[in-house]
Structure 1
Amino acid sequence: MRYTSTIASIIVVATLLVGCGADSHMKKGDKFFALGEYYDAANQYKKAYSATAPKERATRGQRALKLAECYRRINYTQRAIAAYNNAIRYNQADSMTHLRLAQQQMKAGSYKEAAKNFQAALDSLPGNRLAANGLKAARMAPEWKEQGSQYTVKRENFFNSRRADYSPMLAGDNNDQLYFTSTRTEVKGDELSGITGTKNGDIFVSTKDENGKWTKPQDIDTELNSEFDEGACSFSPDGKTMYLTQCTTDPQYPRYATICTSTRSDASWGKSTTLELTKDTLSSYAHPAVSPDGEWLYFTSDMPGGMGGLDIWRVRLTAAGVGGVENLGEPINTEGDEMFPTFRPNGDLYFSSDGHPGMGGLDIFIAKPDSVGGTWHIEHPGYPLNSQGDDFGMTFEGLHNRGYFSSNRGDAKGWDHIYSFVNPEIIQTVKGWVYEQEGYELPQAVVYMVGNDGTNLKLSVKGDGSFTQEIRPGVDYVLLGTCKGFLNHKEQLRVEPVTESTEYVLQFPLASITAPVLIDNIFYDFDKATLRPESTKALDELIKLLNENPNVTIELSAHCDYRGAVEYNKVLSQKRAESVVNYLVEHGIAADRLSPVGYGKEKPKTIRKKLTETYTFLKEGDVLTEDFIKKLKPEEQEICNQLNRRTEFIVLRTTYGMFDEKGNLKNPPKPKPAENQAPAEPEWTPW
């Protein structure tokens, strides 16, 4: 009897200890859950669930439900499904359990089972739009997969690791840099995240080498990355500012995602600083995306005033900072989560959502702006761009419908990987370079583009002086390259229909207002002032330039080398300058806009930096005087003499014809329209 009693006592004590242990795990789990550390919370809830006797059905069901919520948040889809089913089996399902279970079954591709649970959710939540959209998606997803689309996708294992790699973003003037977030072993810091169970993410970058091949991804070796979680970056149009998401941690308080900025100095990114979007410190701000015009920052947030869990918002970017936060509202945002906004350069907004009818977890959607009503038209790009998993984080290679995105499709652990995508659309583009005549690119330039279809755009150029813009067949375009301190240059383009993607290339060499400009390829008969026929092309270009800049007067100068009699050379150069002026006048340029001057050898050429790339024996600032030339090798002397024999022009005035005889401006600028009022006419109209 005493032995039996002892056994019974041991069982009772053990049961009490197990129960106390389970309660302890639940308390720890609840603390982790409150901090948002769902991986650590799941580990505690799992221990508590395992330590709970099957006969304690209600307790076991409640703990299964908490465990399911953690698994759902860390993308452990199959475990989440099992845990939700356990909660239902133990009669502890709440009003959202069937909805959450159905969403997880969609991610697993179990569309029939998902439809049943969406219907069950609708029975208990009549009118719930998430359940209604989910039911529609469960019925349509198999058909979408069967139909397919023009997209082709490929997993790009060169960028991927054994951990999560996501949110790729192309950068660089030639899209030759790929930034993305990774939790691979090379990240900074050794601690594992209580949220995901992996290391905190860092931003990595891969660049193309001289052969156009991607190099091994490297952790950005600056203060940009920290021991905290960094990722989901975007760039300003000029590429000088990075916007990124950062998630810090605190053992006592929940920490919310914030958006930070980093500026580029030379080739390196500086330490990030928090961008304060609102005074609300209890909401998350993540997934920044800059609009193509650089005027808006789009982002994801759960701040009050939204439509669901996470919404897409935007805030205006100004020289003085940010201001004017707006919720995008319907039809983009839903009662679900809308995340990872990004832009195609043509203005289309891509985002991911689990609230719109989709194929599984997060699906990618396209929001096309309606220029008439100021609203958005939503499109679902179908399979295989979308899958039963989470698909998000698009980035585009220029204006073409190709690039990279991230997805956790087919990964049992729910880790994300980088994929490439291609949609063979026929796209016509114009690419132009704006640069100083005889000089380098002009990144401060602006190009005005007007089409007879109503197009009226103001295009900024990249760091290499280039721009790329989509154009439409059957449209006549006029493009005007401008930059402060330079004359304008105009190009015309007629776009014809094509059967494959085509790129038109235009050059915009801008003549300096302050420095002499060489008129290249001007030829005279030997020892005479007679213009040779092959000079016509260069002179016609000069006529075009003067017509495009009607308020400019110029000095037209001719120069000789040091050889020959001084007076003879000066007379010959004067006659040559007059020959050029006569040609211009004969072709419609007003004589009082032109001043011919023959300098002979009085003004030897001063070497500019660009010319030293062709003639490496010369340095910037060298003046090709007779003494300088005679110290060179014979073949170098002849090159310098050729450089001295030149025809140039320099701008004298930029106000010709602008004022009447009383000194009043003939065409005063019109007053600007009131704020929020459309301009009365385009900024520049060539027609």
Structure 2
Amino acid sequence: MNTTARYLPLLMLCMLLMACGADRALKQGDQLYATGDYFDAAAQYRKAYSQTSPKERTQRGQIALRQAECYRRINYTARAITAYRNALRYKQGDSATRMALGQQFLKVGQYKEAAKVMTEMLDSCPQNSMAQTLLASARKAPQWKKEGSRYKVKREDVFNSRRSDYSPVLAGAEHDRLYLTSTRNEATGDDISGITGTKNADIFMAQKDEQGRWLRPQVIDTELNSNADEGVCCLSPDGLTMYLTSCQSDERYPRFATIVTSRRSDATWNKPQPLPITRDTLSLYAHPAVSPDGQWLYFVSDMPGGMGGKDLWRVRLTEAGLGGVENLGIPVNTPGDEMFPTFRPNGDLYFSSDGHEGMGGLDIYIAHPTASGWTIVHPGYPLNSMGDDFGMTFEGNKNRGFFSSNRGDAHGWDHIYSFENPEIIQTVRGWVYEREGYELPQAVVYMVGNDGTNLRLSVMNNGSFTQTVRPGVDYVLMASCPGYLNHQTELHVVETDESQEHVLQFPLASITAPVLIDNIHYDFDRATLRPESMAALDSLVTLLNTNPHVAIELSAHCDYKGKGDYNKRLSQRRAEAVAHYLTAHGISADRLTAVGYGKEQPKTIKHRLAVCYPFLQENTVLTEDFIKTLTPEQQEICNQLNRRTEFRVTNTTYGMFDANGQLIRK
């Protein structure tokens, strides 16, 4: 027996074992692919490919194609290019395969190769709009990179780990907190994701120290995070509700992303609750973003009725629940993928897409709202790169903040970058609070401009809000809160050579408690109003005109010095003097009641006065007995506080009903 004949059975056995091993790996790969475990599936396909003979060209080509799809989905771009090329070399794949190969070439900056692939594809499919877009991208991207832009970009390693860190969200009135999504080793649980080969993502938070420097992110140690995938979050305008993406694992089914919500209570995020947007349980819902006015939730979905791939949608947020779902349509959505929506406070929508002309991968685009829809702008290089760029967050109204990108990372992992685009911005910053009391975070501010601006602004926990304004526009802003009178003010914005912030105060008057009228002064021992009182009284006229259905009692008060009868008569005349001023300026007399209380109702200290005068505690009543326990200087301060003019609301339905009690309709 010759040598070949002797070893032939062994060779046949080895080939049979290899074929069995390839079939087994291919089957396992298909099972993992079906459930979305692309990282693990790629490993099985790689084994099946290596154990399949090059002579089995069709089989090898089909395995290479499956490999390529896995590598594309987990951002192993170089491996994806090799696998797509192998599939095409073995005559497997179709126009979608060439399209995907062209996209991968764009992601590594091989624009000539991308243009070559797309040109060849358009020779056979000249009407393919996606191929036309990719070809235009390959031709324009080198010029965009050469031209650059005003954006300055820097990798911020204080936020980054050796895994993926992405989708930052700035929070806090001073923008001193940063939420981000990360697959770093500190994430909850011990399991390794079959999708990415890393741990499941969690939401982490970084804070600034007392010197304003960022500290390293820490995992949020509450029920917000679990062993499942959590991430890509946003906050409601008041900062009390977090919307986030959640992917629960199930070995039997693909993992569908859903949107859940968490409420913040005493600085702790509660366990997320499902937010069912539609009854469709077979589509993904991810990447939430709340509009600056708090009225819309924008999100990503591949549900039926879209433009192709993943689209941007929105649903109205109401007190009664979610409203109807809308697709943003053209020009925002394309046959490609539109993802990661976020808002700049001025109303501009930022999102990422691979379906618009770009530099490769996901590029960031700006959608400016107009009366007829959206205008799309590509902000250029270096904000965009040949990699995936997405997940913007802004430091208030400034055109600076953070975003995420996998540019230059061989593993395709994402990292946090800072950006800044210097520009002249004018903003209005306001505070809404109870007169003499606390901030009113439940208030809203309505802002109307003669340029067509019509906004409803929510306020932060500290009662503040910030909004961009335009030069040459006249604005009217009105703050409103249940249990308080509306407060209105006007703002005229002029052109400036540098950024400017206009600061406004909105002290709201309670409808259940007396309200001090600041800076009312009378001649000594008389009821004559002094000229410096006019500004405060004119503000009261404006307040009553802003709240036309309110009637008030005007009251004047004295300190404990002097005879009681005399003080009461003097305070009565002073209250009447204020009422006369108001009627002379157009306020109906039957809306006003003037009462002089003398020293009968000493002042009760509220929050803001307690802050101004540390020797006084909140809710202290400035009685004669209390005042006499103080130092002479403190006694004089208390006597000044007792000598005051106030008003309180007596009717909130003035002029709303006729003599028969029927509502008057205007």
TM-score when scaled to structure 1? Answer: 0.91
Contact 2:293–2:456 (CA under 8 A) maintained in structure 1: no
After TM superposition, the structure 1 = structure 2 runs for residues 309-458 of structure 1, keeping only pairs within 5 Å, are 309-371=309-371, 373=372, 375-458=373-456
Which residue of the partner structure matches residue 652 of structure 1? 650
Q: Per-residue deviation at 1:585? A: 5.2
Which residue of the partner structure matches residue 226 of structure 2? 226
Which residue of the partner structure matches residue 164 of structure 2? 164
Contact 2:345–2:468 (CA under 8 A) maintained in structure 1: no
Do the aligned partners of residues 331 and 528 (structure 1) sit closer, same or farther apart at CA in structure 2, a change above 3 Å counting?
closer
Return the alpha-carbon distance in structure 1 between the equivalents of residues 452 and 21 of structure 2: 73
Contact 1:98–1:120 (CA under 8 A) maintained in structure 2: no
Which residue of the partner structure matches residue 104 of structure 2? 104
Alignment match of 2:462 (pick from 444, 461, 464): 464
Which residue of the partner structure matches residue 90 of structure 2? 90
Contact 2:187–2:201 (CA under 8 A) maintained in structure 1: yes
Which residue of the partner structure matches residue 52 of structure 2? 52
Which residue of the partner structure matches residue 237 of structure 2? 237
Which residue of the partner structure matches residue 498 of structure 1? 496
Return the alpha-carbon distance in structure 2 between the equivalents of residues 194 and 81 of structure 1: 21
Return the alpha-carbon distance in structure 2 between the equivalents of residues 456 and 261 of structure 1: 28
Contact 1:181–1:232 (CA under 8 A) maintained in structure 2: yes
For 1:590-639, what per-residue CA distance to the aligned partner results, in whole angstroms no more than 9, with x for missing partners?
55544433322211112223322233343333222223333445554443
Q: Per-residue deviation at 1:29? A: 1.1
Do the aligned partners of residues 91 and 478 (structure 1) sit closer, same or farther apart at CA in structure 2, a change above 3 Å counting?
closer
Q: Which moved more, 1:52-61 or 1:400-409?
A: 52-61
Which residue of the partner structure matches residue 555 of structure 2? 557
Do the aligned partners of residues 27 and 658 (structure 1) sit closer, same or farther apart at CA in structure 2, a change above 3 Å counting?
closer
For 1:113-169, what per-residue CA distance to the aligned partner results, in whole angstroms no more than 9, with x for missing partners?
111111222234342222121111111111111122222222111111111011112
Which residue of the partner structure matches residue 620 of structure 2? 622
For 1:241-274, what per-residue CA distance to the aligned partner results, in whole angstroms no more than 9, with x for missing partners?
2111111212232221111111222211111122
Contact 2:476–2:489 (CA under 8 A) maintained in structure 1: yes
Q: Per-residue deviation at 1:56? A: 3.5
Q: Which moved more, 1:535-544 or 1:393-402?
A: 535-544
Which residue of the partner structure matches residue 216 of structure 1? 216
Q: Which moved more, 1:44-53 or 1:407-416?
A: 44-53
Return the alpha-carbon distance in structure 2 between the equivalents of residues 109 and 38 of structure 1: 24
After TM superposition, the structure 1 = structure 2 runs for residues 18-33 of structure 1, keeping only pairs within 5 Å, are 18-33=18-33
Q: Per-residue deviation at 1:238? A: 2.5
Q: Which moved more, 1:151-160 or 1:166-175?
A: 166-175
Q: Which moved more, 1:251-260 or 1:522-531?
A: 522-531
Q: Per-residue deviation at 1:3? A: 6.0
Which residue of the partner structure matches residue 152 of structure 2? 152
Return the alpha-carbon distance in structure 1 between the equivalents of residues 58 and 549 of structure 2: 87
Which residue of the partner structure matches residue 81 of structure 1? 81
Which residue of the partner structure matches residue 257 of structure 2? 257
Q: Per-residue deviation at 1:569? A: 2.9
Do the aligned partners of residues 536 and 285 (structure 1) sit closer, same or farther apart at CA in structure 2, a change above 3 Å counting?
closer
Contact 1:516–1:648 (CA under 8 A) maintained in structure 2: yes
Q: Which moved more, 1:375-384 or 1:562-571?
A: 562-571
SS, match of residue 280 in structure 1: coil
Which residue of the partner structure matches residue 133 of structure 1? 133
Do the aligned partners of residues 162 and 577 (structure 1) sit closer, same or farther apart at CA in structure 2, a change above 3 Å counting?
same
1:122 aligned onto 2:122? yes
1:142 aligned onto 2:142? yes
Contact 1:487–1:549 (CA under 8 A) maintained in structure 2: yes
Contact 1:407–1:417 (CA under 8 A) maintained in structure 2: yes
Q: Per-residue deviation at 1:193? A: 0.4
- List alignment gaps of at least 5 residues for structure 2: none
Q: Which moved more, 1:172-181 or 1:347-356?
A: 172-181
Return the alpha-carbon distance in structure 1 between the equivalents of residues 365 and 605 of structure 2: 55
Contact 1:95–1:124 (CA under 8 A) maintained in structure 2: no
For 1:541-560, what per-residue CA distance to the aligned partner results, in whole angstroms no more than 9, with x for missing partners?
33443444455443332222
Return the alpha-carbon distance in structure 1 between the equivalents of residues 662 and 231 of structure 2: 58
Which residue of the partner structure matches residue 37 of structure 2? 37
In the alignment, residue 646 of structure 1 is paired with which amino acid? R
Which residue of the partner structure matches residue 675 of structure 1? none
Do the aligned partners of residues 534 and 333 (structure 1) sit closer, same or farther apart at CA in structure 2, a change above 3 Å counting?
closer
Q: Which moved more, 1:25-34 or 1:82-91?
A: 82-91
Percent identity for Structure 1 against Structure 2: 69
Q: Per-residue deviation at 1:660? A: 6.5
Which residue of the partner structure matches residue 63 of structure 2? 63
SS, match of residue 23 in structure 2: helix
Return the alpha-carbon distance in structure 2 between the equivalents of residues 74 and 226 of structure 1: 22
Contact 1:241–1:264 (CA under 8 A) maintained in structure 2: yes
SS, match of residue 292 in structure 1: coil
Q: Which moved more, 1:150-159 or 1:355-364?
A: 150-159
In the alignment, residue 293 of structure 2 is paired with which amino acid? D
SS, match of residue 477 in structure 1: strand
Return the alpha-carbon distance in structure 1 between the equivalents of residues 99 and 180 of structure 2: 32
Contact 1:96–1:121 (CA under 8 A) maintained in structure 2: no
Contact 1:26–1:48 (CA under 8 A) maintained in structure 2: yes
Contact 1:122–1:132 (CA under 8 A) maintained in structure 2: yes
Which residue of the partner structure matches residue 685 of structure 1? none
Contact 2:158–2:215 (CA under 8 A) maintained in structure 1: no
Contact 2:436–2:607 (CA under 8 A) maintained in structure 1: no
Which residue of the partner structure matches residue 677 of structure 1? none
In the alignment, residue 566 of structure 1 is paired with which amino acid? G
Do the aligned partners of residues 130 and 593 (structure 1) sit closer, same or farther apart at CA in structure 2, a change above 3 Å counting?
closer
After TM superposition, the structure 1 = structure 2 runs for residues 5-20 of structure 1, keeping only pairs within 5 Å, are 5-20=5-20
Do the aligned partners of residues 592 and 284 (structure 1) sit closer, same or farther apart at CA in structure 2, a change above 3 Å counting?
closer
Q: Which moved more, 1:79-88 or 1:186-195?
A: 79-88
Do the aligned partners of residues 314 and 446 (structure 1) sit closer, same or farther apart at CA in structure 2, a change above 3 Å counting?
closer
Q: Per-residue deviation at 1:61? A: 2.6
Aligned length: 666
1:603 aligned onto 2:607? no
